[in-house]
């Protein structure tokens, strides 16, 4: 694969509502991001992915866009965004926007006009079906039927996600053209590219036929009929040719469920996108089908197998976007390390494990501080519409209120959405007002001020790790090198990064106990790690609890 400029990036994801509030209304904003650019530059990241900042009623915190070419006033205006792009550029930081084109908000002018007048051109921008009962039994991602009745008419509209997120009808050529013009308009404004939301859902099964029910609600998960359906490639090719291919930009697809054998179509040399997120390893504890609410047990070996299977497929076809956290996932420290979530060595080890995989690393805000989940004690403390739905569905499945709350706590998207803790002061310096969502209880201890410039902190570790990948003596191998799995004991994840000239073994001990591994050769040299000492003797290495170490093979 020919080298691409964006392979060198380290991308930092910002959830704008929770990053930094510059005007005291309790909601983070664009100026807040600009204020914190020095922090991001110090950390060493090279691009920001900013979750949606478009005009929106915020039912799904911006993933419900009511005007694609205007910004949400609570986040700021176009001047603020231009200033952010300019100021970021001075620090060699690029800006990636979120692109939400599977659905809009029901408050979008198009949808409002479609409701007002079924004869209007906008009616066909969405998916309506006439009748006085639901056209089929598909369940939306956020629960309940995918169909919502149009008030006052014998008609239903379709939504893959929430009720206030009607799906756009990609079968309509005029709509596609309007979307493409909008995408080009943004790219012309100087943004570096897009993370593209829920893009595997744009093609539906046009027979709209019922599926086998898979829950007590007698509905069937809609993904079976709406995700990666035959024909999606035509839409995606057109999207690419009419927009991305005309600009120097980078695209990352949130395209869940793409079968591995189709990865080439998505991210191959002539793929629809540059990179893709693979959720298979992140979903390793999520049960599917009628037992969806269960949390599956998993082992370190299973995590390793899933990660490496993904890496090998991606290597065959293209380039992955690697992550352990985002705004839809629980905090990685809590999820993957469980009772060791407060162990700094463990948090650093986990960070390094995914960071040196082949691909572009994504860091979610607060991950660099080792932030943890926020256990809520009642449903009133949640904002996320998916958590509220999961609670209701758990009760319907027969779980007690206590069990339902436990499940929601483990999974909730609000775990990662708590406001960013800048310091130990009131509301962590996030806002001078009252934050829209509670801070985590740990913020007096886990915050940026307590870690930045402090030796041994998780922040300083991330900073050093980024610098080592970007500018260290082994940068070329760590960025461009190939990857292959390496056999190791049950609590250890290991892989090899290599070029023709250089070979680096990467070992990560997920256990709180010492673990002995055998290296392929004697005379190998440790080049980087999270602990001061590496205990090697001949071919034997005694990994200390939660040790991460990179070892170079001597030529
Ligand atoms: C995926 C986004 O990451 C999530 O936050 C959102 O709710 C859905 N897509 C719907 O847009």
> pLDDT, tens digit, for every residue of 103-151?
999 999 999 999 999 999 999 999 999 999 999 999 999 999 999 999 9
User: Burial of 23 by CB count in 10 Å (0-12 exposed, 13-18 middle, 19+ buried)?
Assistant: middle
> Is there a single domain that holds both residue 282 and residue 394?
no
Has 197 been annotated as catalytic?
Answer: yes
The range of the structural domain enclosing residue 527 comes to 481-552
Burial class (CB in 10 A: 0-12, 13-18, 19+), 336: buried
Asked whether residue 376 is domain-assigned, the answer is yes
Task: State how far the Cα of 183 lies from the Cα of 179, in Å rounded to an integer.
Answer: 6
Q: Are residues 245 and 300 in the same domain?
A: yes
**CA separation for the pair 523, 102 (Å, rounded):** 54
Segment 375-410, tens digit of pLDDT: 999 999 999 999 999 999 899 989 999 999 999 999
Does the C-beta of 63 come closer than 6 Å to ligand 1? yes
Which CATH number fits the domain that encloses residue 485?
2.60.40.1180
Residue 155 lies in a domain: no
Q: Residue 137: what are its φ and ψ, rounded to 5°?
A: -105, 25
Candidate of 15, 63, 330, 362 to mutate for ligand 1, largest count of ligand atoms within 8 Å of Cβ: 63
What does the pLDDT read at residue 555? 66
Torsion angle in degrees (nearest 10) through CA of 485, 489, 491, 494: -20
Instruction: Please list the residues that pair with 196 across neighbouring strands.
Output: 99, 253
Name residues whose C-beta falls within 8 Å of residue 133's C-beta, 6 or more positions apart in sequence. none
* Residue 62, SS3 per DSSP: coil
Ligand 1 atom nearest the C-alpha of 162 is 10
pLDDT over 70 (residue 86): yes
Work out how many domains the chain is built from and give that number. 3
pTM score of the predicted model = 0.98
Is residue 420 in a domain?
Answer: yes
Q: Do 508 and 522 fall into the same domain?
A: yes
**Going by C-beta distance under 8 Å and a sequence separation of 6 or more, which residues neighbour residue 261?**
none
Residue 152: inside a domain: no
461 and 507 assigned to the same domain: no
362 and 227 in a single domain? The answer is: yes
> In degrees to the nearest 10, what's the CA dihedral of 417, 421, 426, 429?
-110
Catalytic residue among 197, 265, 325, 328: 197
* Whether residue 54 is found in the same domain as residue 69: yes
Q: Mark which of 411, 431, 453 sits at the end of a domain.
A: 411
**144 domain residue, yes or no:** no
Nearest ligand 1 atom to the CA of 386 is 7
Q: Are residues 541 and 490 in the same domain?
A: yes
What's the gap in Å between 197 CA and the centre of ligand 1?
Answer: 6
Tell me, rounded to whole angstroms, the distance of Cα 513 from its chain centroid.
31
**What pLDDT, on a 0 to 100 scale, did the predictor assign at position 364?**
98
Per-residue pLDDT of 89-107, as tens digits, reads: 999 999 999 999 999 999 9
Average pLDDT for 51-71: 98
Is residue 127, in this structure, part of any structural domain at all? no
In the beta sheet, which residues pair with residue 49?
13, 96
198 close to ligand 1 (CB < 6 Angstrom): yes
Query: Is 80 exceeded by the pLDDT of residue 309?
Result: yes
- pLDDT band of 215, cuts 50, 70, 90: confident
Domain-embedded: residue 162: no
Closest CA to 363 of 55, 24, 46: 46
**100 CA: nearest ligand 1 atom:** 11
Selected catalytic residue, list 21, 80, 148, 254:
254
Q: Are residues 93 and 186 in the same domain?
A: yes
pLDDT, tens digit, 9 for 90 and up, residues 434-447: 999 999 999 999 99
Smallest CA separation from ligand 1 atom 6, residue: 63
Q: Give CA–CA dist 165/163, Å, rounded.
A: 5
Three-state SS at 13: strand
Same structural domain, 226 and 310? yes
CA atoms of 443 and 427, how far apart (whole Å): 8
Q: Is residue 416 in contact with ligand 1, taking CB distance under 6 Å?
A: no
What integer pLDDT is reported at residue 216 of this predicted model? Answer: 87
How many angstroms from the chain centroid is the CA of residue 366? 13
Regarding the beta carbon of 65 and ligand 1, being less than 6 Å apart is answered no
pLDDT digits (tens, 9 = 90+) for 314-329: 999 999 999 999 999 9
Is 254 considered catalytic here?
Answer: yes
CATH of the domain at 96: 3.20.20.80
Claim to verify: residue 281 and residue 195 sit in the same structural domain: yes
Q: Is 15 in the pocket of ligand 1 (CB under 6 A)?
A: no
């Amino acid at each position: 694969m020919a080298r691409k400029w964006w392979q060198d990036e380290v991308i930092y994801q910002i959830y704008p509502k929770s990053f930094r509030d510059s005007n005291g209304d309790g909601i983070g904003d664009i100026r807040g991001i600009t204020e914190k650019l020095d922090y991001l530059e110090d950390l060493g990241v090279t691009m920001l992915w900013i979750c949606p900042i478009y005009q929106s009623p915020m039912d799904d915190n911006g993933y419900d866009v009511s005007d694609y070419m205007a910004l949400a006033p609570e986040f700021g205006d176009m001047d603020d965004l231009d200033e952010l792009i300019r100021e970021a550029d001075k620090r060699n930081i690029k800006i990636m926007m979120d692109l939400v084109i599977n659905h809009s908000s029901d408050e979008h002018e198009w949808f409002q006009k479609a409701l007002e007048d079924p004869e209007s051109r906008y009616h066909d921008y969405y998916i309506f079906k006439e009748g006085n009962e639901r056209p089929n039994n598909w369940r939306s991602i956020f629960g309940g039927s995918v169909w919502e009745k149009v008030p006052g008419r014998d008609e239903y509209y379709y939504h893959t996600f929430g009720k206030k997120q009607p799906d756009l009808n990609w079968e309509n050529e005029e709509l596609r053209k309007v979307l493409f013009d909008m995408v080009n308009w943004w790219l012309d404004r100087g943004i570096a590219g897009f993370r593209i939301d829920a893009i595997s859902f744009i093609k539906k099964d046009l027979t709209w036929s019922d599926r086998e029910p898979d829950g007590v609600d007698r509905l069937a998960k809609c993904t079976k009929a709406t995700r990666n359906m035959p024909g999606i490639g035509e839409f995606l090719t057109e999207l690419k040719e009419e927009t991305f291919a005309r600009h120097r930009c980078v695209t990352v697809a949130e395209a869940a469920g793409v079968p591995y054998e189709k990865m080439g179509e998505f991210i191959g040399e002539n793929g629809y996108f540059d990179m893709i997120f693979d959720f298979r390893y992140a979903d390793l504890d999520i049960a599917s089908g009628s037992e969806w609410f269960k949390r599956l047990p998993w082992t370190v070996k299973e995590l390793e197998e899933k990660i490496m299977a993904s890496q090998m497929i991606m290597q065959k076809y293209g380039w992955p976007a690697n992550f352990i956290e985002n705004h839809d996932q629980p905090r990685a420290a809590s999820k993957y390390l469980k009772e060791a979530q407060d162990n700094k060595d463990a948090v650093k080890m986990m960070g390094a494990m995914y960071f040196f995989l082949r691909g572009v690393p994504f860091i979610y805000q607060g991950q660099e501080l080792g932030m943890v989940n926020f256990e809520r004690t009642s449903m009133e403390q949640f904002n996320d519409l998916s958590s509220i739905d999961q609670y209701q569905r758990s009760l319907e499945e027969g779980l007690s209120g206590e069990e339902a709350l436990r499940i929601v706590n483990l999974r909730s998207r609000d775990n990662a959405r708590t406001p960013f803790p800048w310091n130990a002061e009131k509301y962590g310096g996030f806002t001078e007002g009252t934050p829209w969502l509670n801070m985590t209880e740990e913020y007096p201890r886990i915050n940026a001020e307590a870690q930045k410039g402090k030796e041994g902190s998780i922040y300083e570790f991330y900073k050093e790790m980024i610098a080592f990948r970007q500018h260290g003596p082994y940068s070329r191998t760590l960025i461009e090198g190939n990857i292959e799995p390496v056999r190791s004991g049950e609590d250890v994840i290991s892989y090899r990064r290599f070029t023709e000239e250089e070979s680096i073994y990467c070992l990560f001990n997920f256990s709180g106990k010492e673990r002995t591994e055998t290296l392929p050769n004697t005379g190998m040299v440790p080049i980087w790690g999270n602990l001061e000492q590496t205990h090697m003797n001949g071919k034997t290495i005694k990994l200390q609890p939660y040790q991460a170490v990179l070892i170079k093979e001597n030529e």
